[in-house]
């Protein structure tokens, strides 16, 4: 167990599995008290069991609903005394080519990534401003640069980068930095679902993704947690409004 985030309170949305869980675990192992919000109650129970040796708060909350987010943030503040680090990680995909993409596919993705991150950032900033300290990290994607079948997701992830840069400017003077990590292909339930949707074994999707990854391996949730930890570190106070692509190479 490390001490890197000792005394800090870190909130991770969508932290019950995949990338969010790896981020929550890293913070907990490095001494932070960790709050996890997620819509998946079963996975939340599993993660609280897995991390039971640490100080953890979990709550079933939909980031799209501002009231649910406000209630959760208030509870975190009241139980842990501050909100120092926020990671907007909750996400969904509804991939389809443009001509087949429904209004619901479009709106759901916009809502979770953009409205969700807006809601959490807005609720968290009040507590961060009180302390004149904060680290916000948004999880974007290499898809922000364009990806076939992801008009909704690419737009949302590019939008998230705009939010990141704007919050960096607005909140920077108050001791709060905002940055984004943009992962490439990471092995999680989300990419497993993609394999299922296109009807190929997951191993085949991983193999295909390797063609474009210079380091010759696909990404793991811990690779993203490591990059998030860099932005979340107290000593990263001069790093603000940046997008870090974490994809095993320079191109998406």
Which residue has tokens 């389809």? 96
Ramachandran region of residue 192, left (φ > 0), alpha (ψ -120 to 50) or beta?
alpha
Neighbours of 103 (CB within 10 A): 7
Q: Which is nearer to ligand NAD, 37 or 114 (CB)?
A: 37
Show contacts of 161-170: CB within 8 Å, 24+ apart.
161/243, 163/114, 163/117, 163/118, 163/121, 163/138, 164/136, 164/138, 164/140, 164/241, 164/243, 165/241, 167/121, 167/125, 167/136, 168/240, 168/241, 169/241
State in angstroms the smallest separation of the CB of 24 from ligand NAD.
11
Q: Which residue's entry shows tokens 């799209």?
A: 64
Task: Pick the catalytic residue from 77, 127, 133, 153.
Answer: 153
Element housing 34 (H / E): strand 33-38
Q: Which distant-in-sequence residues (6+ apart) come within 8 Å of 249 by Cβ?
A: 184, 212, 213, 214, 215
Q: How far is the CB of 202 from ligand NAD (least distance, A)?
A: 12
**Contact residues for ligand NAD, defined by CB under 6 A:** 13-14, 16-20, 37-40, 43, 62-64, 89-92, 112, 116, 139, 141, 183, 185-186, 188-191
Minimum CB–partner distance for residue 185 and ligand NAD (Å): 5
Give catalytic status of residue 153 as yes or no. Answer: yes
Q: Is residue 28 within 8 Å of residue 85, measured between CB atoms?
A: no
Residue 21 CB, shortest distance to ligand NAD, in Å, is 7
CB contact at 8 A, 127 and 228? no
End-to-end CA gap in the chain: 34
Shortest separation between residue 196's beta carbon and ligand NAD, angstroms: 12
Catalytic residues: 153
């Amino acid at each position: 167990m490390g001490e890197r985030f000792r005394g800090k309170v870190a909130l991770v949305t969508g932290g019950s599995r995949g990338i969010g869980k790896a981020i929550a675990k890293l913070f907990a192992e490095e001494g932070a008290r960790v709050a996890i919000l997620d819509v998946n109650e079963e996975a939340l129970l599993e993660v609280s069991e897995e991390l039971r040796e640490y100080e953890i708060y979990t709550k079933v909350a939909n980031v799209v609903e501002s009231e649910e987010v406000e209630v959760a943030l208030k509870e975190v503040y009241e139980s842990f005394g501050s909100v120092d680090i926020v990671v907007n990680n909750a996400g969904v995909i509804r991939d389809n080519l443009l001509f087949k993409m429904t209004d619901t596919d479009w709106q759901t993705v916009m809502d979770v990534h953009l409205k969700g991150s807006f809601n959490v950032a807005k609720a968290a900033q009040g507590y961060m401003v009180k302390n004149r300290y904060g680290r916000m990290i948004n999880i974007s994607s290499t898809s922000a640069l364009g990806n076939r079948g992801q008009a909704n997701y690419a737009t949302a992830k590019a939008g998230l980068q705009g939010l990141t840069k704007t919050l960096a400017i607005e909140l920077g003077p108050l001791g709060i930095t905002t940055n984004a990590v943009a992962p490439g292909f990471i092995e999680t339930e989300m990419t497993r679902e993609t394999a299922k949707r296109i009807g190929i074994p997951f191993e085949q999707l991983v193999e295909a993704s390797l063609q474009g990854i210079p380091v010759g391996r696909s990404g793991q949730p811990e690779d993203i947690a490591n990059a998030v930890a860099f932005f979340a570190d107290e000593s990263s106070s001069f790093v603000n409004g940046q997008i870090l692509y974490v994809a095993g190479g320079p191109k998406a």
